[in-house]
Amino acid sequence: MRTALLGYGLGGAAFHAPFISTTPGLTLTAIVTSNPDRQAEAASRYPTAELIPSPDDVWRRADEFDLVVITTPNRFHADHARTALEHGLNAVVDKPFAPSAAAARDLAELAAQRGLLLAPFHNRRWDGDFRTVARLLSEDALGNVHRFESRFERWRPQVKDSWKESSDPADLGSIVFDLGTHLVDQSIALFGRPTTVYAEIRTLRPTAQAHDDAFIALTHPSGVVSHLWASALTASLGPRFRVLGDRSAYVKYGMDPQEEALKAGETPGGEGWGEDRVDQWGLLDEEPLHTEPGSYQDFYAAIATGNAPVPATDAITGLEVLEAAFKSATTGTTIHLAD
């Protein structure tokens, strides 16, 4: 699949280009960025990929591509996805998939009408620690799970000059759209569409304009409760996962190692890729448990076969949950999701 990568910031450079370029069945044909420094970096690492300054050039030459990977700033995700589909191109869309559940449904309907692949890039389903939790649940190792706790917490007291910190709602800069998207998606992947949503969403840092702290509680049909935290102002980090069952519990600290390896320029998929350090393994009944290796490469391996590894319907559900979370935080009430 001849692939055009739209955007070469952190997302494009670390989370997409390395996998597109190393996945059999995919070719990194073009990289779209107008930033001179990023163009130079991309040319150095991917000399066979054409550098294109604007997405408009991709649309004009749509017959030269099969797949578009969209990792532009959040406000452009849905528009770029729609344009790609209208030009007959399959699309992978970074999170957030769209600004609203309604916009996401429109994209899914358009893709279905055109018979095109449309995949939300929810790569955190291939974090090693999350894969470990999923395996424990599939093996019934914890018994009946009653609480799932998940955190993406950081200590970043200084506000960055970035669209991710913007007060403009169109930028989708809230931490809920950033880290919260992953947290909600992982809980949906494990326990399905929730029935109720309660949330507390705040802006804590003195000069911050976008939300930088959030707690979201979900109740799932099985009775499992998901407690999800995302924060930029956590000086003492809690466990990445704490999963409680009626027979056992699993507790895991630390982050999946793939992101730091990718930022360091490592090539994914080799021997030892995604392996957690022994001192970072989680505890099952207080005993260390080997963490499943992280495998972001599996996402693009599925794309190369023409299959969406994450269905668009899951992204729609996730956005419905986020909308309910904002409503809950504003009203101070628990929101019931429609079936």
Instruction: Taking residues 153-168, report their average pLDDT.
Output: 89
Beta bridge partners of 28: 3
252: containing domain: 125-336
Write the CATH number for 9: 3.40.50.720
pLDDT, residue 300, reads 97
Per residue in 101-135, pLDDT (tens digit) is 999 999 999 999 999 999 999 999 999 999 999 99
How many Å apart are CA 37 and CA 54, to the nearest integer?
Answer: 15
Beta strands in the chain (DSSP E): 2-6, 27-32, 50-52, 67-70, 90-94, 118-121, 145-153, 196-202, 213-219, 225-231, 241-245, 249-252, 282-284, 287-289, 335-336
Are 67 and 155 within one domain? Answer: no
Indicate the number of domains in the chain. 2
Write the CATH number for 197: 3.30.360.10
Are 98 and 222 within one domain? Answer: no
Query: Which pair of tokens denotes residue 213?
Result: 């702290």
Structural domain ending residue among the three candidates 95, 121, 147:
121
User: For the chain, how many helices (H) and strands (E)?
Assistant: 11, 15
Per residue in 63-79, pLDDT (tens digit) is 999 999 999 999 999 99
How many Å apart are CA 111 and CA 91, to the nearest integer?
Answer: 9
Are 76 and 134 within one domain? Answer: no
| Averaged pLDDT of the chain | 96
Are 109 and 131 within one domain? Answer: no
Kindly list the strands in the beta sheet with 67-70, ordered across the sheet, starting from the edge strand earlier in the chain. Answer: 50-52, 27-32, 2-6, 67-70, 90-94, 118-121
Residue percentage of the chain with pLDDT more than 70? 100
Per residue in 88-109, pLDDT (tens digit) is 999 999 999 999 999 999 999 9
Per residue in 252-300, pLDDT (tens digit) is 999 999 999 999 999 998 889 999 999 999 999 999 999 999 999 999 9
CA end-to-end distance (rounded Å), the chain: 37
Is the pTM here over 0.85, yes or no?
yes
Structural domain ending residue among the three candidates 68, 96, 121:
121
Structural domain ending residue among the three candidates 96, 121, 146:
121
